[in-house]
């Protein structure tokens, strides 16, 4: 077994071998999803709780389907992050769920570091389904799985990630994972959405959309969340579309078979034009399909693992 950690918290601390093991396991699970009867008894008798402290439908659904296809009992628990400021503390909530003899928590939280914090305070296995601006590891895995299926490899590929890098946990997880696997990642977005110290990512930061897409094998467009990040970072979605959106014309600068991806949900006409989203270059729905396989792999690896892990083993 090449993955000995208690939890899956992020890509930053994983080794190349651990990431490859997760990807290979996920690739195996894609086959189950193509069957007529999409169910295996692997996690029968295990309880998986989706602990979502931030609204989500697609990621939660994806995890729920993944758990059910592995025959786990999956339960959804939804609360708002702010509710913990009023009533029960976050750890008390987690301890209550643990006391019901849960095996795996799939956690999403709006604050960076909150999922790690939970993992340190529970014996249950924890999968990070997105914490604040920090990490969204299963998204990075499904992105890489989709790329590998399309291109047959990861190493040496030119991947552009375009959008709000500062406020994107998808970008962070993609960067940490892909750079470990030899992908050449380049970043682009409005200067208001690029971290001041972007050199820590070890990626090229581009100065224009043309530079960002030029000769790219893969283009990952990030969802622009104007309502969340406030109106200070960009003046309008119209202007965003003009300078930072992926149009047919811009796509023509990339490799002819360039793969276009997006973590969803897409803002059509803003970061991604419809004629690109619906083109043959688009891998968006393939990503969603792979998302289930990746999450099955994550639940499977943690769920059948006998190791107890522990805080020390997972310390960064």
Partner 1 sequence: MKTLLKNCKIVNHDKVTEGNILIDGEFIASVTASADEKADKVIDCKGKYAVPGLIDLHVHFRDPGLEYKEDITSGGKAAVAGGVTAVCPMANTKPVNDNRIITEYMIKKAQADGLIDLFPIGAMTKGMEGEELTEMGDMTEGGAIGFSDDGKPVCSAEVFRRAAEYASQFGSFVISHAEDKSLAGAGVIHEGEVSAITGLKGIPSECEEVMVARDILMSKLTGAHVHICHISSKGTLDLIKWAKSMGYNVTCEVTPHHFTLTEKELLSYDTNCKMNPPLRAQEDVDAMIEGLRNGDIDCIVTDHAPHHPDEKAQEFDLAPFGMTGIQTMLPLSLALVEKGVIDMPAFVRLTSYNPAKLIKKTDRGEIAVGKLADIAIVDAELEYVFDNKLNKSKSVNTPYMGKKLKGAALYTIKSGRVVFEFPMN
- Return residues touching partner 1 (CB under 8 A): 12, 81, 84-85, 89-91, 109, 111-114, 116-117, 131-135, 169, 172, 195-201, 315-316
Query: What's the min distance (Å) between Cβ of 34 and partner 1?
Result: 35
Query: What's the min distance (Å) between Cβ of 47 and partner 1?
Result: 24
Nearer to partner 1, 46 or 169 (CB): 169
Nearer to partner 1, 116 or 250 (CB): 116
**Do you know the residue count of the chain?**
316
Query: What's the min distance (Å) between Cβ of 219 and partner 1?
Result: 22
**What single string gives the DSSP state of each residue in 171-215?**
HHHHHHHHHHTT-EEEEE--GGGS-TTGGGGT-EEPSSHHHHHTT
Nearer to partner 1, 134 or 282 (CB): 134
Nearer to partner 1, 81 or 288 (CB): 81
**Could you tell me where the beta strands, DSSP code E, fall in the chain?**
47-52, 73-78, 104-109, 125-131, 158-162, 184-188, 204-205, 218-221, 259-261
Query: What's the min distance (Å) between Cβ of 112 and partner 1?
Result: 4
Complete edge-to-edge strand list for the sheet that includes strand 218-221: 204-205, 184-188, 158-162, 218-221, 259-261
Nearer to partner 1, 114 or 145 (CB): 114
At residue 294, the 3 state secondary structure works out as helix
Burial grade of 65 (CB within 10 A; 0-12, 13-18, 19 or more): middle
Query: What's the min distance (Å) between Cβ of 161 and partner 1?
Result: 14
């Amino acid at each position: 077994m090449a993955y000995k950690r208690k939890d899956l918290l992020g890509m930053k601390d994983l080794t190349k071998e651990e990431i490859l093991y997760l990807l290979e396991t996920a690739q195996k699970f894609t086959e189950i999803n193509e069957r007529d009867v999409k169910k295996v008894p692997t996690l029968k008798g295990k309880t998986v709780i989706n602990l979502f402290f931030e609204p989500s439908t697609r990621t939660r659904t994806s995890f729920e389907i993944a758990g059910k296809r592995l025959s786990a009992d999956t339960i959804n628990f939804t609360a708002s992050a702010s509710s913990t400021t009023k009533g029960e503390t976050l750890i008390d909530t987690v301890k209550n769920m643990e006391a019901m003899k849960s095996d795996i928590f799939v956690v999403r939280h709006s604050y960076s570091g909150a999922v790690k914090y939970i993992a340190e305070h529970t014996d249950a296995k924890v999968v990070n389904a997105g914490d604040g601006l920090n990490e969204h590891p299963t998204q990075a895995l499904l992105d890489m799985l989709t790329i590998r299926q399309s291109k047959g490899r990861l190493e040496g590929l030119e991947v552009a990630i375009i959008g709000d890098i500062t406020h994107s946990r998808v970008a962070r997880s993609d960067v940490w994972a892909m750079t470990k696997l030899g992908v050449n990642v380049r970043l682009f977005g409005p200067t208001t959405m690029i971290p001041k110290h972007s050199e820590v990512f070890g990626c090229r930061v581009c100065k224009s959309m043309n530079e960002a897409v030029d000769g790219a094998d893969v283009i990952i467009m990030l969802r622009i969340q104007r309502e969340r990040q406030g109106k200070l970072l960009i003046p309008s979605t119209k202007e965003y579309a003009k300078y930072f959106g992926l149009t047919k014309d811009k796509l023509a600068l990339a490799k002819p078979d360039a793969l276009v991806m997006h973590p969803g949900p897409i803002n059509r006409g803003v970061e991604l034009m419809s004629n690109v989203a619906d083109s043959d270059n688009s891998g968006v729905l393939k990503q969603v399909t792979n998302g289930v396989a990746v999450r099955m792999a994550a639940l499977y690896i943690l769920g059948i693992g006998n190791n107890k892990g522990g805080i020390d083993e997972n310390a960064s």
